[in-house]
Structures are given as C-alpha cells and as structure tokens.
C-alpha cells in the first residue's frame, strides 16, 4: 500500500517535460563534475570553501548522475528528487546567498535562475509524482493487474 502512494501520480503526461529538464540537467552536471574537475568538480568546491572538495565533488556528482537518471526514466521519482532538492538547497545557500549579500538581488537573481528552476522542478515532481509516461506509472499499473 505504501508503494502505491509513492508511485501514484495524477500529473498529466506533460509532466515528462519537467522530468526531462530536471533529469537531463542533473545527469549532465554530474557527469561534468568528473569530466572537468578543475572548473565544475573539486576545483569549484574548493573555491566555494568546502573542506575535502574531492570527496564532496564526487559525492555530489554521483548523486546527480544516479538520481538524475532515475528522474529521467521516472523510476522512484518522489524519492529521487529528495536528494536533488538537498543538493540545490546547498548550492543556493553556498553560492547564491553570498552573491546576494555582495552584489545585490538582481545579480543573484540572474545567477540563480538555473538553480531556482531545478529546485522548483524537483519540488513539483515531489508533489505530483512522475506522471503517466514513467516507470512509476507502469509499475503501479502492473501491481494492480
């Protein structure tokens, strides 16, 4: 019964557009943390001030790849967006709040547009689920048969 609540979604088929956006961007960003470690991976985390930036970059990168892929295919979507919401929240606090304090609202708003979109897209999927075009939907319907 609990799995039904987790997998059920009344979202329209168009929810796949949000899943594609969220899943593809997280997957891409996770892969890039390993491809370009100086700019996007450990080097970036070191500039931000994280201790042990190599571990943090790898941890975040793997989470973005795994959970981005799960969102993309619509498998355990509600569970998968929870760590992604955490990643985006930390990203906003650690990188965008300092911009707000240093350069003001408009510079922060410009720099935060992708982070904000990813956070809102992830929260949307947490609330409505994966939608009809997903593995979650297929699993739910196969369990009922």
* Residues 19-63: tens digit of each pLDDT: 999 999 999 999 999 999 999 999 999 999 999 999 999 999 999
- Give the orientation angle of helix 113-128 with respect to helix 15-35, to 10 degrees: 130
Task: Give the structural domain span for 87.
Answer: 2-144
Calpha distance 94→105 (Å, rounded): 15
In this prediction, residue 1 has a pLDDT band, given cuts at 50, 70 and 90, of: low
On whether the CB atoms of residues 91 and 33 are closer than 8 A, the answer is no
- Give the orientation angle of helix 113-128 with respect to helix 77-91, to 10 degrees: 150
Q: How many domains does the chain have?
A: 1
Tell me: pLDDT of 144 over 80. no
Q: Which of 16-25, 37-46, 91-100, 133-142 has the lowest mean pLDDT?
A: 133-142
Number of helices (H) and strands (E) in the chain: give both, helices first: 9, 0
- pTM to 2 decimal places: 0.93
Mean pLDDT, all residues of the chain: 95
Calpha distance 123→119 (Å, rounded): 6
> How big is the chain, counted in residues?
145
């Amino acid at each position: 019964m609990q799995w039904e609540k987790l997998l059920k979604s009344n979202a329209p088929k168009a929810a796949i557009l949000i899943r594609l956006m969220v899943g593809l961007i997280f997957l891409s960003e996770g892969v890039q943390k390993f491809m370009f470690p100086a700019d996007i991976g450990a080097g970036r985390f070191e500039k931000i001030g994280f201790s042990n930036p190599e571990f943090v970059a790898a941890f975040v990168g793997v989470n973005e790849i795994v959970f981005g892929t799960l969102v993309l295919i619509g498998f355990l979507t509600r569970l998968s967006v929870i760590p992604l919401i955490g990643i985006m929240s930390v990203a906003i606090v650690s990188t965008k709040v300092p911009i707000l304090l240093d350069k003001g609202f408009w510079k922060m708003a410009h720099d935060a547009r992708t982070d904000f979109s990813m956070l809102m897209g992830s929260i949307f999927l947490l609330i409505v689920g994966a939608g009809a075009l997903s593995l979650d939907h297929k699993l739910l319907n196969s369990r009922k048969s």
